[in-house]
Each structure stands twice: as structure tokens, then as C-alpha cells.
Structure 1
Amino acid sequence: MNLHQHFIVLTLMLLSACAQQPPQTSHEQAAAAQAEPAPQPRPCPAGLPADTRCLGGQDSAGAFYLIALPAQWQGELVLHTHGGPFLGAPTMKRQEADLQRWAVVPRAGFAWAGSSYRQGGVAVRAAAEDTERLRRIFIQHVGRPTLTLLHGQSWGASVAAKGAEMFGAGKPYDALLLSSGVLAGGTRAYDFRLDLRVVYQFLCGNHPRPDEPAYPLWMGLPAGSRLTPAELARRANECLGLDLPAAQRSAGQARKLKTLVDVIRVSEPSLQQHLSRSTFDFQDIALHRSGGGSVFGNLGVRYTGSDDDAALNAGVLRYARDPAAVARFGQDADLTGRIAVPVLTVHGIHDATAFVEMAHSFAGTMARAGHADTLVQTFSDDSEHSYLSDATYVALLQALRSWLREGRKPTPADVAEGCTAAQARFPSSCRLRPDYRPASLDTRVPPRQQP
């Protein structure tokens, strides 16, 4: 073979190799121009199979990330968006804890990757960008997955949904799994926490105390406040006796606690968490996300369930929404439903952290965007929020895989059957209720005057 023939053969081989590579999306082409440092090997958190390989690092924006690869990885990736949000600086500890919690993912043969996000706070789009950056890091340094499933948990479900809306043009994610999702949109999902603040203040009068500067409660806390979570808990215990056995609470504490639980319709164990979120998360929203205006209001709300609803409604503080603040926060935290890939959700029916009625809101959002046919919702007879069961998540992942690989859109009954089958390898509970349909969020959180 002469030199000219060698050149022709080599050229054909190169062209063939290029033709076999999947085309890069515009996002991936942009990422190639700013290559991220390679993740480094690191010990896996306890609880993962001994032959799992873990990698981690900090990306160019400052987010920490962790990757877990099962020994016999077949190319399928679960890209995880964690819940919260958290208000402190990012650390690797959150990712280690999440990987431990979701150890069933690598045990089931999927790679797992999760980002801490580059900043604390209620910033949905930024978290979605950090997650997409991690996907590109994975492709650059580990390999191109044959299947990428974007899994959002709790507040992270809104991050995942927002990411699918933001980056959906190139279809970087093949499907979404949204578990225990805060999916009613940021400008609607947290209305009940303003209700909690105003009813709590009516009953307790210590947040703020009478001798402290007054401020609108939708603000959470004013700038410069030195109130700590520990001090907030002390005030709630003082008024409600949350730290006491029921038999040791005073009659006044018991009455006020019952009123809050009955009017706001939150569980007693979740009340302190919601009070904290309506304080520190609301402060983050007011100071950093809304331009300083009120995203939340309660004009037109009628509170019911107390011993004297007339006195309660006459006495609670009332606030109007600021249209500009609502629009600004909504641009970051509300969802459009423009998600062009399959979406599978699961939600505990008795979830006290993210009400199951939020799933009804999300179904409406998807339907208004013309994507009702790409959404399947499942529900579990659980009160847990952070984790349901190994068999449940394996069944959901396998249902998504079949939907994508074989074109078989699952029904809730199919997922329930898959959960029962998964129990043989992943012994754990299966409480899926294929017949369940959630009510409207308006039946749980009273509607209010809109801006």
C-alpha cells in the first residue's frame, strides 16, 4: 500500500470514529471551552458496597460534588439534586450524607452524582446550573452515560424540574424522578408558612417579643438580626411546650399548640421545622431573592379550626403581596411545566414537610404546558419525607428505564408491582397506593388575594 493509500485509509478511520460519537449539545460545546478539573478518588461514605468507586471535588463555581460508580457499571447515571435549601456555605458533608441515604442507587447498578450547589439559600436556578455543571464534569472525566435520570428530592425536586426547563433544548436529561417534591412553585408553596408566623405571633407574641423592634413577618427576620435557631426553639418551647411530654405542658401551652396544629394543618413534630423555615428561609428570600418586597401575603385568608375563629381572624397581622417581588421570586422559583421528557413522581400521602396536595398543583402546571401525557404520579401511604424505602426507589428507577428503553409508559399499578418484585433483592416496605389522587392545594392551604 503506497503513502497515498495509507492516507485515505487513515482518513476514513478517523471519519468513522467521529461518526460513532454522539453529537455534542451547545451546552457541552460551551463546557469544553472551560474544562473543569478532574475529580479525585476519595473514600466512599459508610454503607456503600465495598467495591464502589467514589470520586469528588469542587467545581469552578465553588460547589462540592461527589460521584459513586458501582463495580459493574452499565452506563446509567442518576444525577441527584438535594433538598433543603441550606443557608450556610457549601460543604462536602451534605453530599456524603445524601449518598449514604441513596446508597440503593449504586447498589442497583446506577452511577450516582450530586452537587452541594455553590451557595446557600433559596436559589433554584443557581442550583440547577450547578447540577448541569456536574453532569458535564461527569461526561468529561468519567464517560458519557447511556441514560441520565435527573432525581430531585424535596426542594431539590423544584431544582430538577427547573433544570429540565432551563436546559431542556438539548435534552441533557432523559427523564426526571421527583420524590417528595416541593412542586407548587415558590410563590405558592410557602404560603402556609406565613400563615404559621401570623397565627404563632397572635398566640405567643414572642417572635418578635414586645420589647424588640417590630418588622413585617413576611420578612422572616430583619437584616442584622442576631436571632439563632436555638433561641427560636427556646421561644417556641416557652410558648408551646414542644420540648415537654404532653402531660407536662401547661393548659395554655396545650391550647396554643392545638390551635396551631389545627389551623395551619401541620403535624406537631414538624412545627418547629416550619417555624424555622418561615424565619430564616423567609429572611433569605426577602434580603436576597425578592428585591426586598413581600412575596407572601394573607389578605383574604379566613383562618378556621380555633376555639374562636372570629377573634383569630380579627387579631392576626395582615400583609399584601408586592407584585414586583412576586414576579422576581417567581422567575427563579416557579415552574412552567415545559419539560419535554418523561417525569415520574412519588409522594408520601401523609408527608408533613411537603404537603401531598402540591402534587395536584404540579399536575396542573404540566397540563397547562401541554405535557400531561409525559407525567406519571405515584403515592405512598407514608408520613416520611426524606426517604421512603429502597424497594420503592428501585421500582421507580426501573419503571423509568423501561419507559425510555422499551416505550412502556408505566401506570401507578405497574410501579406498585415493581416495588413488590424489588423486595426480593432490596428487602424493605412497599406502601404504594395506585388508587390515590391528591386534592387541590387550596383544600389544605386557604386561598388568598393575589397581587
Structure 2
Amino acid sequence: MGSPLRRVWMGFAALGLMASGGCAHAQAPAAKVPAGTQAAKDCPDFLPAQTRCFAGQDANGAYYWIVIPKAWNGALVVHTHGGPRLKAPKPDDALEDLERFSVTVKEGFAWAGSNYRRAGYGVRSAAEDSDTLRQIFWDQFGRPKRTILHGQSWGGNVAAKTAELYGQRADGKPVYDGVILTSGVLGGGTRSYDFRADLRAVYQYYCQNHPRPDEPAYPLWQGQPVGSTLTNKQLDERLEACTGVNLPKAQRTAVQQRNLDNILAVVRIPERTLDSHLGWATFTFADMVNKRLDGHNPFGNVGVVYAGSDDDAALNKGVARFAADPEGVRRLAFDADLSGKLTVPTLTMHAIDDPTAFVELEQVFHDTVAKAGAGDLLVQSFTDEHEHSKLATPEYAALLRAMSAWIEQGEKPSPASLAASCQQAVAIYGEACHFRIDYQVRPLAERSYPR
């Protein structure tokens, strides 16, 4: 349930209460608002009419939003956002995900989302902040008839870790009733990012500009050294100079095209997200290693045999090699790896052509759960979309409806039943469904070189 300190509401000057009024058959009770709080903005226009919104800051400094629709169905969805975001959190950051997943509120669920207490990596601290927000909601509005976790992208790792750490009370009774993980980074910290370490090594072999020859050398697994002033714009300029990735193909030089072709083929990443992955392998790695792991290296490529270039022998002979530090691996595993010990129904959804969190991470999660003996509590679904940050709206509605039925009636869904439910939601949300009920996810080793 959390310590009393975690349940304290802090930052009263920043805590906002926004009410647009109205009655409903399942409307939430009035919040127990601490003295000294201030009124703030109305609910955003993208939410249903007469929705009520609350914003605040918890005891650890994490900003959050709580939203309750007029026709509340009595259930709460605690949302864990993706990222990790490297900019300092701001009070209204949660609105981006609230808009993206406003289908949750339109389906009648209350929604609560934390920005997390700090910028950058940290799965356990984000999980604690998410469960703190769950407790805040319970304290203010009473325990809902069911509480569901929804994690998106990196937030999938956070939500799964939240369920592991805070999913049961001391007496063994459940805190959360279900978990939904969409586009999730579900390989944990020690499996999900190896390909980005490979990207740093392979990119540097071909481009030699990150760092440049006239800049101080540093180990590539570090992302960048402490004190570096390199910006995203400057990194994009270096990538463009080497590969011409943002130029039409006809405008690239022969050297640029060769570099680009080799990098993409060897690291097995899509062209359209090369710049993003290189950015994460630079700035997120720097945050992770320098600020969270005390400089210990969790990544290694010793023994990896790279393939797919126009000269694999030369590449493997000349590419930078580095060995993982056992302490770095241990710390990252403690923070972000998953046990697979599910205790409540868990649904996942992933686009087969997700260019950011590769669909093969679902295979890692499946095997981890199976090894823990919890396979009966997991249903995985896949779509033939080419997106990461948001899939089709009716698909999320189908997940929410299926989870409710699984919790309340014991009706375990299947990919086929999710597809059928999605079609029913199309009439409301006007977007097509893309479930592939016959898809079998491939091993991660086919996408990311095994260590």
C-alpha cells in the first residue's frame, strides 16, 4: 500500500482542482481536497463533456493528472508513459499521453498518469511514482471497483515492474486487477538495448564522427561523456553528413549511400528511425550510465559477429569492442528486468512493424512469463501497423473491454476475440482494425545479435 510519506500530497501551490460539473449515474464522489490548493485549468477539449480533472504533485515531486468522466464506470486505469523523457518534468506533461489515449476516458474509465519524479532512466522510481499515484486516487476517491495498469512503450516496462513490486498487499490480496502493455519495451533493461550499443559501434566504424577524430575519445557504450555539450541538432548534422539519411536517395553521394546501407543492414533497424535510435544510444545511454549506473557499463559486444555489410570481415576486424561490466549488468537488471511472475490477467498489443520497440521483445516477455509458470495469465496480440507511439483507437478500446470481461466474468480473450471486439468499436471511433490473429512472433535473436 506504500508508506505514509508516499501518500502525502505535496506542492499545494501547484495542485489544481478542475471541475466542469454535471451529474452522472456513476460519477465519482467529490475529492478530499487539501486546504490551500488552487483552482486550475478546465479539462482539455479532447475529453468528453463534463469530465472532471485534477492535477498535482506527489511527495517525491512527480507531477500527475487524474481524470474522471461524467459516466464513470467505476474503474481506474493507471497509465505509465513511455520515454524515458530526458527533459525536466513539467506540470502538464501528462496531457500528451492523456490526449493520445483519451479513448480510455471515452470508454468510461478514470485515468491517472504520472510524469515521474525525475528526467531520464529509472524503471523502479517510475514504478514507485505510478503506484503512489494509484494510492493518491484511492485515498481521494475511494478504491475503484477495479484498478488496471496500462503501460505504453518504455512505460510497458514500468507498468510490468509496477505490477511486480506493488501488485500485492502484505496479506497477498491484489492491488491491481489487470495489466495492459502496448508497444512495450518488454525485454527488460539487459535485453532491450543491445542493438543500440551495436549501433554506436557500427556507426562509428563507418562514420568516424561520433566522436570526431579531433575530439576526446570515450567508450561508445557510455553514450557520451559527462560534461558533453553535444546537442540533438548537432548529432543529426553528423548523421546527415555521413549517411544523407534525410536526403532523397538521388541526392546522396555514393559514400553516404554505402554507409547508410551498411549501417541499416548490419544493425537491422528501419531507416525512418535511424536518427531516433542513434539519439537514444547517445543521450539516453549517457543518462543511464553516467547518472543511474555510476559509470558502470551494462553493454558488451565481445564475440558478436556482425553480418549484412558489403565487407563483414573488415567490419568485424575493425569495429570497436567492449565488454560489459558485471556490476553494470547487475544494476540494470535490478532496475528494469522482469521476473515474469504475473499475478493478474495481462494483455499485450504490439505492431509487427514497430520501428522503435521491436515486436520480437514480445518473445522475450512470453518466454520469461512461461518460465515463471504464469503463461495462463498472458494473452499477446499483434497488428500489421507500422507505428509505435499510438495504434488504432478501436484496438485500445478492444483491450479495455476484453480486460474488463476477463476480470469480471473470467472470460479470457484471444487474438480472435480481440479482433472481433475491435470491429464493434469501429462504429464509435471510425478507424480501421489491424489485428493479425495468426501472427507468430520471432525470436529476438533474429533482430538483435545474441550475447
TM-score norm. by structure 2 comes to 0.91
User: Does 2:17 match 1:40?
Assistant: yes
* SS of 1:176 mapped into structure 2: strand
- Could you tell me which residue of structure 2 aligns to residue 422 of structure 1? 425
Query: In structure 1, how many angstroms separate the alpha carbons of the residues matched to 2:3 and 2:298?
Result: 38
Task: Map 1:112-261 to 2 at 5 A.
Answer: 112-170=111-169, 171-261=174-264
Task: Map 1:46-61 to 2 at 5 A.
Answer: 46-61=45-60
Does structure 2 conserve the Cα–Cα contact (< 8 Å) formed by 1:356 and 1:438? yes
Could you tell which deviates more after superposition, 32-41 or 186-195? 32-41
- Could you tell me which residue of structure 1 aligns to residue 307 of structure 2? 304
User: Does 2:282 match 1:273?
Assistant: no
Q: 1:35 to 1:117 in 2, by over 3 A?
A: closer
Deviation of the 1:404 alpha carbon: 0.5
Q: 1:235 to 1:32 in 2, by over 3 A?
A: closer
Deviation of the 1:35 alpha carbon: 5.5
**Amino acid of the residue matched to residue 152 of structure 1?**
G
**Amino acid of the residue matched to residue 70 of structure 2?**
A
1:355-396 deviations in Å (ceiling 9; x for gaps) = 000000001111111111100000000110001111000001
Match of 2:337 among 329, 334, 346: 334
Q: 1:260 to 1:96 in 2, by over 3 A?
A: same
**Amino acid of the residue matched to residue 201 of structure 2?**
V
Aligned residues: 422
Larger radius of gyration: 1
Structure with greater helix share of residues: 1
Query: In structure 2, how many angstroms separate the alpha carbons of the residues matched to 1:429 and 1:147?
Result: 29
* Identical positions, percent: 51
Deviation of the 1:39 alpha carbon: 5.1
1:309-352 deviations in Å (ceiling 9; x for gaps) = 11111110001011111001110011111220110000000001
Query: In structure 2, how many angstroms separate the alpha carbons of the residues matched to 1:105 and 1:33?
Result: 25
1:286-326 deviations in Å (ceiling 9; x for gaps) = 11222312100001111111111111111100010111110
Does structure 1 conserve the Cα–Cα contact (< 8 Å) formed by 2:354 and 2:388? yes
Gaps of 5+ in 1: 1-26
Does structure 1 conserve the Cα–Cα contact (< 8 Å) formed by 2:5 and 2:59? no
Query: In structure 2, how many angstroms separate the alpha carbons of the residues matched to 1:446 and 1:243?
Result: 27
Q: CA RMSD in A?
A: 1.4
* SS of 1:235 mapped into structure 2: helix
**Amino acid of the residue matched to residue 248 of structure 2?**
P
Could you tell which deviates more after superposition, 89-98 or 307-316? 89-98
Query: In structure 1, how many angstroms separate the alpha carbons of the residues matched to 2:68 and 2:357?
Result: 31
Does structure 1 conserve the Cα–Cα contact (< 8 Å) formed by 2:6 and 2:132? no
Query: In structure 1, how many angstroms separate the alpha carbons of the residues matched to 2:45 and 2:261?
Result: 41
Query: In structure 2, how many angstroms separate the alpha carbons of the residues matched to 1:374 and 1:33?
Result: 30
Does structure 2 conserve the Cα–Cα contact (< 8 Å) formed by 1:294 and 1:321? yes
- Could you tell me which residue of structure 2 aligns to residue 390 of structure 1? 393
1:151-181 deviations in Å (ceiling 9; x for gaps) = 0000000000001110122221110000000
Q: 1:60 to 1:39 in 2, by over 3 A?
A: farther
Could you tell which deviates more after superposition, 202-211 or 248-257? 248-257
Query: In structure 1, how many angstroms separate the alpha carbons of the residues matched to 2:285 and 2:234?
Result: 17
Deviation of the 1:28 alpha carbon: 5.7
Match of 1:446 among 440, 444, 449: 449
Query: In structure 2, how many angstroms separate the alpha carbons of the residues matched to 1:69 and 1:259?
Result: 50
- Could you tell me which residue of structure 2 aligns to residue 437 of structure 1? 440
Match of 2:350 among 347, 369, 391: 347
Does structure 1 conserve the Cα–Cα contact (< 8 Å) formed by 2:167 and 2:175? yes
* SS of 2:388 mapped into structure 1: coil
Match of 1:263 among 259, 262, 266: 266
Deviation of the 1:439 alpha carbon: 0.7
Query: In structure 2, how many angstroms separate the alpha carbons of the residues matched to 1:177 and 1:329?
Result: 23
1:58-81 deviations in Å (ceiling 9; x for gaps) = 112111101111111121111100
Deviation of the 1:123 alpha carbon: 0.1
Deviation of the 1:93 alpha carbon: 3.4
**Amino acid of the residue matched to residue 426 of structure 2?**
Q
Does structure 1 conserve the Cα–Cα contact (< 8 Å) formed by 2:302 and 2:321? yes
Query: In structure 2, how many angstroms separate the alpha carbons of the residues matched to 1:95 and 1:182?
Result: 20
Does structure 2 conserve the Cα–Cα contact (< 8 Å) formed by 1:196 and 1:260? yes
Query: In structure 2, how many angstroms separate the alpha carbons of the residues matched to 1:214 and 1:368?
Result: 42
1:265-290 deviations in Å (ceiling 9; x for gaps) = 11111000000000011111111222
- Could you tell me which residue of structure 2 aligns to residue 19 of structure 1? none
- Could you tell me which residue of structure 2 aligns to residue 104 of structure 1? 103
* SS of 2:135 mapped into structure 1: helix
Q: 1:256 to 1:59 in 2, by over 3 A?
A: same
Query: In structure 1, how many angstroms separate the alpha carbons of the residues matched to 2:16 and 2:90?
Result: 15
Does structure 2 conserve the Cα–Cα contact (< 8 Å) formed by 1:51 and 1:70? yes
Query: In structure 1, how many angstroms separate the alpha carbons of the residues matched to 2:257 and 2:8?
Result: 59
- Could you tell me which residue of structure 1 aligns to residue 65 of structure 2? 66
Task: Map 1:8-23 to 2 at 5 A.
Answer: none
Deviation of the 1:145 alpha carbon: 1.0
Query: In structure 2, how many angstroms separate the alpha carbons of the residues matched to 1:28 and 1:224?
Result: 37
Task: Map 1:317-328 to 2 at 5 A.
Answer: 317-328=320-331
**Amino acid of the residue matched to residue 301 of structure 1?**
V
Task: Map 1:348-387 to 2 at 5 A.
Answer: 348-387=351-390
Q: 1:33 to 1:89 in 2, by over 3 A?
A: closer
Gaps of 5+ in 2: 19-40
Does structure 2 conserve the Cα–Cα contact (< 8 Å) formed by 1:291 and 1:328? no
Query: In structure 2, how many angstroms separate the alpha carbons of the residues matched to 1:210 and 1:77?
Result: 54
**Amino acid of the residue matched to residue 201 of structure 1?**
Q
Match of 1:400 among 381, 397, 403: 403
Deviation of the 1:29 alpha carbon: 7.2
